[in-house]
Every structure is written in structure tokens, then in C-alpha cells.
Structure 1
Amino acid sequence: MPVNGIEMCVETFGEPTEPPMLLLAGDASSMDWWDDEFCRRLAAGNRFVIRYDHRDTGRSTSYPAGAPDYSAADLMHDAVGVLDALRLPAAHLVGFSFGSALAQRIAVHYPSRVLSLALIAAAVDGPLAAPTPESPLVALGGPLPVSTSKIKVGVGTVEARLATEETDWSNRRSAVSRMIDEVRARGGPFTPGESQLRRLAERIFDRSADLAATRLNHQLAGYGPPIRDLLRTIETPTVVLHGTLDQRFPADHPEELARSIPGARLVWLDGVGHEFPPRAVWGQVLNEILAA
């Protein structure tokens, strides 16, 4: 679909006559991270579900690595632009990590476009150092930082191949292996097994124009000005969903976020790390999201 002068890949589930729900993926993440069956179950809850590829992800417009002609503000405007392209005046917003940061900004700057907020693995923002290729913006929920140690995953460990060597994102095997390692390293006991993650990572690789550009350009796009002091102006119903094992954003982040947004509810997801909701907690997550 044409959105804000670019082409964006958009997919919908359910009937257009139902209340719309827009899903916002994390930093450098395509729509594929929103599981197909998860989307279908949301649609079965009487929602018109919309997921899309951020620019520089999936099949949306791609830019040369290191030269993104956009900012974090543009990524926010893209989400609103998807609603415009579908001729939807407002929608329920569900964001994961960086996607939840975009959802917060839309609620602050475009309050009439938001019916409710579901913020998953979210953080309260603040001033951040300028990103560099060597120093990923960890606060955006994107790529893991460089590490040479073994990382605990549930009761086991996974060797951090995301470490000293540079990943060749143009190589399918190398890129898929890196994505699997990253998900497992930040997950928990309910994180999908390697075979399921491999299918997902292969799908992401096959749908992406340039994964190297994706990873770098979203870092360079930045985070945008902090809105911490504006969260109190949000009046839409809000639920904050956060994993008890999320090491990316410790407990003080969701707790402060829930305090900052009037009337927001904080719901803990036991045994969940910094990851898209695993199937084991779908019942709880779906109930909370659809309650608005």
C-alpha cells in the first residue's frame, strides 16, 4: 500500500466491520514476529487485525545500509499512515518493545486515533546516546549487544554466537542462526523450540530485502524526543503486559510506565522474557488485549 510516499506491506485478519486493531512490531522487526495464529485468534475476538512491515523490514520500502532517509518520527507516522490508507479513523494499538514506544507516541500526539493501548515488553523512555553500528540501541528492544558469554535460557544455556564474529546478514544460514540465538538468549522457559524459530527466521530472511540494512538503519533512525512528561496526558484505556524474566527492561520500567499513564493496569506474564508473547501465555495476553 502507498503510505507517506513509500510502499508498505500490510496484512489484515478478520472482518473490516469489526473494531480495528493495529499491531506494531519491535525495532528492526517485520510483521512476521506477530504469529499468524495469534493474529487469527485476535480476529476471532471480534477485531479487524492489521499487521505491517515497518519501512526497511519485510517487503516494505528498503533503504541503502547506513543511509536511512527517515527518523523515528517517520516510523510513528507510518503507523498512522497505515490507518489512513485503510480509511480507519482510529484503532486499538498493540505494541511490542519499540512498537510500544511508537504506540505511546501516537497516543500522545494523535490521541483521537487511539481506542486503547496494549504495551508489551515496554519501557519508559528517556535520553539516549546517539546510536552507532557498534552500539545497538538496546532500549529499543532490537538486536542484542555484543557478548562472548553463555546466556541462560530457562534451565539450559545457549552459546552466544552473536558475539565476537560479525554476522553475514546476506547469508541465509548465518542470518537465521543469529536470529535464533537472539530470541533464545532473551527468552525464557516458554520460548519456542529451535525448529519453530528456524521456520520463523527463514521466513523473515526470505521476505526481507536487506537484513543488514534493516539492522543498521533502524538503529540510525533513533528513538525520538522523550515523552516521559507527556504520558500523563494519555486518557485511553491502557494495559501494560510485562514478562517476569525480562532482563532488557527490569521491573521498574513497566511499574513506572503504569504509574505514569492514568488508569493503566500492569499485568505480569510469569516465565516470559523480552520476547513476543509465547503460546503458553496467549490465553492471558489475548484476554487482556481484547478486554478494552
Structure 2
Amino acid sequence: MVDVRFVASGPLRLWTERTGDPALPAVLLIAGSAAQGISWPDEFVARLVERGVQVLRFDHRDTGRSSVVDFDAHPYTISDMARDCLAVLDGHGLASAHVAGASLGGMLAQWLAVHAPTRVRSLTVMSSSPMGHDPRPVWARALAGEPADPDDLPPPSPAFLAHQAAELPPGIESDVALFRVFNGPVRPFDEPAARAMLELAQSRAVDPAAAAHHHQAVWLPDPELRAPLSAITAPTSIVHGDQDPLYPLAHGEALATAIPGAVLHVVPGMGHVMTSPGLPEEVADLIRL
């Protein structure tokens, strides 16, 4: 059973999709920065449904079919995006859900577990970093060619920084090249599947350029992100690849240390995305339910 609908988050309309029996417990999937709900692979969703849950995926504001925001006139923060996640639950009449977020979505998931604990039945943070960590010093040192600060979390990999420095023209080929880097060098990269997802995302976006607003939002001051992760009470799993080029494994280890009782699952050969054959199903089995 698939239920596609728009829900309201204040003045915004968010595209949502619910798959599975609505009488079953729900899993809310929160995609990463500039990513649409469809970035969660169909195989991943299907595997979760097989595990006996319903699955919600949605387009963030400024992505896919959801509302486009005039960011200059109405700038928003990570906390505002997290409140959109609550609106998705409200729009489907759900008091709570198992919450799984990847990359920036993992930070939104952390926010929910800290600031809306009654809405989070369990927490899975994938390929992410502690929500209160300021990456600017790390990135500045890396881009300047300076050695990493041993007292800070590590910078992105040289391969990722080289891709950023190449400044490829925007478009599908640039996106595919980025996903090849995100995949990492160990597991095979399913380029046809990645390309198909990226082409679909481009075709269904109201304004493809608007997703870049997420990159602006992450730099805005947001005091709510500084809340201690030690306040999280939801059963928590951290899922992290040992080949993640954006958030090296130390980021996942830091999360597991900061959240009481968190269990760390290190996925061998996994990068920052699930673009290797069989990986979506493998990771879906690690989602905390």
C-alpha cells in the first residue's frame, strides 16, 4: 500500500510517501542535504516493509516536489528543517516513529531525539556527525592544505576535496561523479542505478537550484544544535561506513560515544551513500526497530 500526499509545515507543502500497512509501526526516513525522499532506494524501503513496518519518506523543503523558499527573504536553520519532520508525522497522524536519518538527515534525527523525545521510538543515525559539531575549522585547515587538528574530528577525504576543487559544471555528470566519490573505492559503484535516481530527482524538482539553500542553512547560527546528545533516551544505533569520504569513521564513533547506550555498526567498504549492489538491503537490516 502506497499513500502519496502533501502535508503542511506552516506555510510550506511537503511531498510525502507512505509505504506499507498504516496500522504498523512507522519508520521516518530523513534524507541528507539537498537530497529528495527518493534518494532512499526502493530496495531499502522494501526491506524495511518486509521487517514489519510502514515507511515514510519525504522531500525536504527546497527539494523535489516540496515548497521552494525564498531563502534571502526567509532564511531557515537546521532546526526549522527538523520541525518539518515533525510536520510529516503530524500530517500522517503519527504520534511517534522509528527515526532514521542519513548525513544531514542524521543531524535532524538527533535534533528530534533531543528536542522531541516522545516522537522518537528509536533512533538510527547513518553516515553523519554530531549535530553540534562546527566543521568550519576542519574544512578551513583541509582546504588550506594544513594538517588536521588531532583534537578535532577529521576532515573529508582527499578524493572528496579534489572533487570539490574541480568545480565541475552543475548537471547529471557532475552529480554522478560526486556519487562515485561518495560510494568509496572498495565496494562496486552501481552507476546505472545512481544515474537513474539522479535523473529522476532532476525531473521531479520544482526548482533544482533551490536545494543549494540547504548548504546555506547549515552555516546559520542555531543554538538548538548545541543541546547535549547525552540527553537522548531513545534506543540508538549508529550506522557508518569505514570508507565514508565526507564523514570519516571517527564521526560515527564520536556519536556512539556521546549518545548513552548507542550501538555502533561499522559497515565494511561502505562510503557515504548506498550505491553498491546489495548495500541498501544490508543497511536496512541495521535500522533500529
> TM-score normalised by the shorter chain: which range applies?
0.7 to 0.9
- Give runs of aligned pairs for residues 28-67 of structure 1, distance below 5 A: 28-64=34-70
How far apart, in 2, do the equivalents of 1:282 and 1:194 lie? 15
Match of 1:171 in 2: none
Note closer, same or farther for the CA distance 1:212–1:237 as it changes in structure 2 (3 Å cut).
Answer: same
What residue is the counterpart of 2:278 in the other structure?
280
Trace 1:85-164 onto structure 2 (pairs within 5 A). 85-124=91-130, 125-129=132-136, 151=159, 160=163, 163-164=165-166
Distance in 1 of aligned mates of 2:29 and 2:232? 19
AA partner of residue 190 (structure 2): G
Taking the aligned partners of 1:65 and 1:226, their CA distance within structure 2 comes to 20
| TM-score, normalised with respect to structure 1 | 0.81
Q: Contact (CA 8 Å) 1:121, 1:242: kept in 2 or not? A: yes
Conservation of the 8 A alpha-carbon contact between 1:96 and 1:120 = yes
Residue matched to 1:198: 195
Shift of 1:44: 1.7
Report 1:14-33 matches (<5 A): 14-33=20-39
Match of 1:266 in 2: 264
Query: Residues 282 and 276 (structure 1 numbering): CA distance in 2 closer, same or farther, change over 3 Å?
Result: closer
Secondary structure in 1 aligned to 2:193?
helix
Q: Does 1:179 align with 2:171?
A: no
Distance 1:176 1:42, change over 3 A: same
Which of these residues, 208, 214, 218, is aligned with residue 214 of structure 2?
218
Please state if 1:167 is matched with 2:169: yes
Distance 2:249 2:233 in 1: 23
Secondary structure of the residue aligned to 2:228 is: helix
- Counterpart CA distance in 1 for 2:198 and 2:34 is 13
Q: How far 1:211 moved relative to its partner?
A: 1.9
| Contact 1:30-1:57 within 8 A present in 2 as well | yes
Number of residues of Structure 1 aligned to a counterpart in Structure 2 = 263
**How far apart are residue 43 of structure 1 and its match?**
1.2
Match of 2:146 in 1: none
Contact 1:118 1:240 in 2 (8 A): yes
The CA deviation string for residues 223-271 of structure 1, in whole angstroms up to 9 with x for no partner, is: 5336465111111100000001113222221112111111100010000
Q: Percent identity?
A: 34
> Structure 1 stretches of 5 or more lacking a match?
131-135, 137-144, 153-158, 169-174
Match of 1:58, as an amino acid? Answer: G
TM-score by length of 2: 0.82
Distance 1:128 1:247, change over 3 A: closer
SS in 2 for 1:288: coil
Q: Deviations over 1:1-32 (max 9, x none)?
A: 22222111001110100001100000111111
Letter in 1 for 2:40: W
Query: What displacement does 1:286 show?
Result: 2.3
The alignment partner of 1:186 has SS state of helix
Alpha-carbon offset, residue 187 of structure 1: 1.4
Distance in 1 between the 2:27 and 2:167 partners? 40
Task: Kindly state the Cα deviation for residue 71 of structure 1 after the two structures are TM-superposed.
Answer: 2.1
1:65/1:235 CA distance change after superposition, 3 Å? closer
The residue identity in structure 2 corresponding to 1:253 is H
* Pair 1:112–1:191, CA change in 2 (3 A): farther
